[in-house]
Amino acid sequence: MSVWEDLVGQGRAVAQLGEAAADARAVLEGSTARGAMTHAWLFTGPPGSGRSLAARAFAAALQCLDLAGPAGCGHCEACHQVLVGTHPDVAQVVPEGLSLGVEEAREIITRASRRPLRGRWQVTLIEDADRMTEQANNAVLKTVEEPPEHSVLLICAPSSEDLLPTIRSRCRLVGLVTPSGAEVAEVLVRRDGVDPAMAAFAARASQGHVGRARRLATDEEARRERRDVLALPRSLGTVATALAAAKDLVDAAKEESDRRTGARDAVERSSLETALGAGATGKGVTGSVRGGAGALKELEKRQRSRGTRTSRDALDRALVDLAAFYRDVLVVQLGTASDLVHGDLGEQAAVIARATTAEATLRRLDAVLACRAAVDANVAPLLAVEALALALRDA
């Protein structure tokens, strides 16, 4: 199996990257290259289309040691190491907090200028580069402008607009597309052994987000959460029930993020405490533990930032589902023959479609999108969702 296999419905990008990887070999061998390889790549595409997967596959293809076949064999030692994240010449940067600051960016570029240990390429992969601050952008820009030899920078962002124009113009663009429902369903059946009916449902409900589709197809809890979110349009009877529904939605997002980050937070904390000498006995232990209070505070700050982001992401996903529901209502109202995203809730969408007008549905869609923007702009999540529930009720 080749490293490209996990990329669903991205034929064009795979062809482009394959050619670049082949050219990269030519560069290393000293033979004539055709200019398909360059030092900075920008992977763009909607969430779930596999930006970081594509970048990682490309990194593997660059490091691939099976020189007989096409680059990116997927079974040599180097490919394997890249894919599991242990290759010494591939650094992956995954911003977990709300932003990626200039200090981290400086660390990244220092590392990018080292010579590759294995003699091929020094690859630096930045996921979610849209979270880089402007200062961080500028720090990275220096490396993009004057790349050290054998250094390759892979930057992933939802859109090229998320980066400074000066960086954008120095990168080669790899545009990923939203895979079709059929393609996502096919990969779920083939790779995860999901039942075809379930795969089709999950592919549609996730709107082309491959990871989300897999979670919906394989995790009953994820399906329950989705049903809870989509129950909101039915709870808009009175102002009080609308407010209660808003609270439930926000609490669910918070709970989900706590569940995901809580265990990890505890492990990180206890390992740091152990490193600082907690629980040990002997001379100097109290001093070391007390002196480590600053490090613990720093850790807590990082964890809080990560928690905020995780719960914001969970809330955003819920809002995307909700927007899709009103899109379904609009589809019914306008009588177009498009597939419904939430096919299982077709009846509920039809009820709302009959009771309201298309204008009202458009106003509701706007309200959902405005709420996403508000959450992103740091408005108190509960207040933003309350305003949404009330706006949905008024429309």
CB of 379 to another protein, least distance (A): 5
Closest CA to 44 of 218, 175, 205, 189: 175
Alpha helix (H) residue ranges in 30-153: 51-63, 77-84, 102-112, 134-145
- Specify the residue, 112 or 246, whose C-beta has the smaller distance to another protein: 246
Sign of the torsion formed by the C-alpha atoms of 141, 144, 145 and 147: positive
Exactly one of 180, 238, 274, 286 binds another protein (CB under 8 A); that residue is 238
**Residue 286 binding another protein, by CB under 8 A:** no
Q: What is the DSSP letter of 279?
A: T
**Residue 107 binding another protein, by CB under 8 A:** no
Taking a C-beta distance cutoff of 8 angstroms, is the pair 388, 247 a contact?
Answer: no
- Specify the residue, 278 or 390, whose C-beta has the smaller distance to another protein: 390
Which span sits near another protein by CB under 8 A: 54-62, 233-241, 248-256, 276-284?
233-241
- Specify the residue, 169 or 378, whose C-beta has the smaller distance to another protein: 378
Closest CA to 40 of 136, 161, 189, 166: 166
- Specify the residue, 337 or 377, whose C-beta has the smaller distance to another protein: 377
**Residue 293 binding another protein, by CB under 8 A:** no
CB of 296 to another protein, least distance (A): 19
- Contact map string, positions 189 to 208, toward another protein, x by CB under 8 A: --------------------
CB of 228 to another protein, least distance (A): 21
Residue whose entry in the numeric block shows the structure tokens 């491959």: 210
Amino acid at 150: H
For the chain, the maximum distance between any two Cα atoms, rounded to a whole number of angstroms, is: 78
Applying the rule CB under 8 A, the residues between 329 and 388 that interact with another protein are 374, 377-380, 382-384, 386-387
Binding-residue total with another protein (CB under 8 A): 19
Taking a C-beta distance cutoff of 8 angstroms, is the pair 137, 145 a contact?
Answer: no
- Specify the residue, 125 or 232, whose C-beta has the smaller distance to another protein: 232
CB atoms within 10 A of CB 393: 19
Exactly one of 1, 240, 337, 355 binds another protein (CB under 8 A); that residue is 240
Alpha helix (H) residue ranges in the chain: 11-29, 51-63, 77-84, 102-112, 134-145, 165-168, 181-192, 196-205, 210-218, 220-230, 239-276, 285-291, 293-334, 346-355, 358-376, 381-394
Exactly one of 124, 322, 393, 395 binds another protein (CB under 8 A); that residue is 393
Exactly one of 102, 189, 243, 299 binds another protein (CB under 8 A); that residue is 243
**Residue 239 binding another protein, by CB under 8 A:** yes
Sign of the torsion formed by the C-alpha atoms of 195, 196, 197 and 201: positive
**Residue 391 binding another protein, by CB under 8 A:** yes
Residues forming contacts to another protein in the complex (CB under 8 A) are 238-240, 242-243, 374, 377-380, 382-384, 386-387, 390-391, 393-394
